[in-house]
Amino acid sequence: MKIERMNKGTWGKVRAFFDITTSDGFTIKGFKIIEGINGLFVSVPSQKGNDEEYYDTVWLDSKELRDQLNQTAIDHYNSQYSETLAPENNKSNLTEDQPELSEKEEPKKEVVIEKKEPFSEDDIPF
């Protein structure tokens, strides 16, 4: 089982949509990661019936398979989430002009104050 695509965001309680591909080559689309009261969990694809209720269109037969899917999807979600939010600690981006700073030092920032001329009627384009 492999996660093919994951779109992260916040849509109510939904945190991500994803697709999986099985080892047999089947791709199943429409899984969701939901934030519930006990944490994140995976919701299988579902479809609205005539009675306005939602019914699962994919059935996971065993608890082991459901647990494996939950763990795989949440690990993938957390690894992508931390990669996009983590600051880059790559020191190779430093140039020769930028000294390497220790963790306690902060870079000095230059403050530039622009002097603006007073506003006049001639500044209006019409």
Tell me how many degrees the CA angle 74-79-81 measures, rounded to the nearest 5: 90
For the segment 12-38, what is each residue's pLDDT rounded down to a tens digit? 999 999 999 988 999 999 999 999 999
Please indicate, yes or no, if residue 97 is contained in any of the structural domains: no
Banded model confidence at residue 115, pLDDT cuts 50, 70, 90:
low
Please indicate, yes or no, if residue 108 is contained in any of the structural domains: no
Neighbours of 33 (CB within 10 A): 21
Please indicate, yes or no, if residue 98 is contained in any of the structural domains: no
For the segment 35-84, what is each residue's pLDDT rounded down to a tens digit? 999 999 999 999 999 999 989 898 888 899 899 999 999 999 988 655 54
Tokens linked to 18:
């994803």
pTM of the model: 0.60
Domain encompassing residue 10: 2-85
pLDDT of 87 > 50? The answer is no
CATH number at residue 43: 3.30.1120.40
The rounded distance, in Å, linking the Cα atoms of 51 and 11 is 24
Please indicate, yes or no, if residue 9 is contained in any of the structural domains: yes
- The total number of structural domains in the chain stands at 1
